[in-house]
Amino acid sequence: MVTPTGYTGVSRKSHLVFDACFESGNLGRVDCISEFEFDLFIRPDTCNPRFRVWFNFTVENVQETQRVIFNIVNFSKTKSLYRDGMSPVVKSTSRPKWQRLPAKNVYYYRCPDHRRNYVMSFAFCFDREDDVYQFAYCYPYTYTRLQHYLDSLERRNLDYLQREQLGLSVQQRRLDLLTITSPAQQNPEKQKKLVVLTARVHPGESPASFICQGVIDFLVSQHPVAVILRDHVIFKIVPMLNPDGVYLGNYRCSLMGFDLNRHWQEPSPWVHPTLHAVKQLIVQLSQDTKVGLEFYIDVHAHSTMMNGFMYGNVFEEEERVQRQAVFPRLLCQNAPDFSFSNTSFNRDVVKAGTGRRFLGGLLDDMSYCYTLEVSFYSYMAAGSTAPVPYTEDTYMNLGRNVARTFLDYYKHNNFIDDKKPQTTNPINSTEVLSQGQQGNGIGNEKTSGGERGAERKNLGLKDKTTRHQAAPQHTGNTSPV
């Protein structure tokens, strides 16, 4: 409980109670500046004081119509999408769906009271005394939520889905591996292709989990594209590579303070057990002559750029450079929020220990390694100068579009027969999610209106997007001060 300076009486309504002692919570300290203004300090990642970005906390004991200003005062990053209109998300016990605060109530500036460090301030009006309000940097996706989701998938007993425990984290949390593929090949003479996808190596990048769930939801559905893909491709998915960091509310590091995405070259089975297990798996798969490992995609979220985009590697052979650009170009045609113009190929020295860079040098020249990034905030819709904020639903929709793009890729490369059923109709999310998802409270989203259906074979087309649905209206709990 935070009481005004000098107050000695009995606590009362409006003396705010802050809490972050829950899964994925993060709040280190609260200073009361006045009865309506509070300075909030992010707790650094465990064993690593460098990273202070993710926050997730609750507030209760509020008074109806109480108006406050919260200042997040110790961000470790200076560049931020808060400069471009990003805002925190909020929910309450009576309104459990996350919403973004109105951008007009959020300010990002250098503050002379905090050594000219960057501060993000937001104004808020509490409107229901009995509610507990929760604020977060972005939509949380916890380790427990993932376990409930995977349990619900496992209960469906799908013959083309296998869940296994690939290993355990330092704190003994599960490292899950999903294998999605049809048990019988349509054409035994043809080698099955292999796609490996990982997410949440950086625990505060929660949009990566929504994208990953969108990929899984689509691949296990009865959509015609998903059925074809399962017949020709093996998908290996590690949905949460850093479960301890996610559980603890870290932004970038593991329990022991390591940025796991800088340790792919020599991961320790004791210090980086989850990374070590995934690396061993990929090395083993790359040596299996029965399958062709063609894709490794690591899913992240980006704190300073908009849209979805990819990072790829740099090669000497021009043909390989061109081949590497095919998948992002095709994804650009399917996903209205994916930008090929933001996609780049590099070999930065500081990125040498990342999964994309390390595996790009380890695997053969027919394998492609990408980092898939998505904005923490928004994307630009065609014909509009205003950014469209991402929602949980649109993050998942990007995942579905990533999955369907594999069919376009393999048809383009003549691995999948072009005479297969046409896939020009937009993906219907009701169809994708109807297989046993009802009632679990997870992933029940609507398909965004801008999704494209036509497969284009002109890979030289420029990046295009389509107009997307408007952002949802906010309820009364985001009234301006």
pLDDT in tens, the chain (481 residues): 888 777 777 788 889 999 999 999 999 999 999 889 999 999 999 999 999 999 999 999 999 999 999 999 999 988 999 999 999 999 999 999 999 999 999 999 998 888 888 999 999 999 999 999 999 999 999 999 999 999 999 999 999 999 999 999 999 999 999 999 999 755 566 688 999 999 999 999 999 999 999 999 999 999 999 999 999 999 999 999 999 999 999 999 999 999 999 999 999 999 999 999 999 999 999 988 888 899 999 999 999 999 999 999 888 788 888 889 999 999 999 999 999 999 998 766 667 778 888 888 777 778 899 999 999 999 997 777 889 999 999 999 999 999 999 999 999 888 887 554 544 444 544 445 444 333 333 333 333 333 333 333 333 333 333 333 333 333 444 433 3
Q: Which candidate, 318, 308, 307, places its Cα nearest to that of 388?
A: 307
Please give the Cα distance from 113 to 471 (Å, whole number).
Answer: 35
What is the C-alpha end-to-end distance of the chain, expressed in Å?
22
Catalytic residue, from 205, 373, 451, 455: name it. 373
List of domains in the chain: 17-136 (2.60.40.3120), 143-413 (3.40.630.10)
Q: For residue 76, with 0-12 CB atoms within 10 Å meaning exposed, 13-18 middle and 19 or more buried, which class applies?
A: middle
> Can you give the pTM of this predicted structure?
0.86
The count of other CB atoms within 10 Å of the CB of residue 63 is 13
Please give the Cα distance from 17 to 14 (Å, whole number).
Answer: 9
- Tell me the CB-side half-sphere exposure of residue 23, using CA atoms within 13 A: 11
Q: What angle do CA 415, 429, 422 make, to 5 degrees?
A: 35
Q: Which candidate, 34, 30, 27, places its Cα nearest to that of 53?
A: 27
Please give the Cα distance from 225 to 236 (Å, whole number).
Answer: 18
> What DSSP character marks residue 102?
P
> Tokens 């059923």 identify what position?
421
Task: For residue 373, indicate whether it is catalytic.
Answer: yes
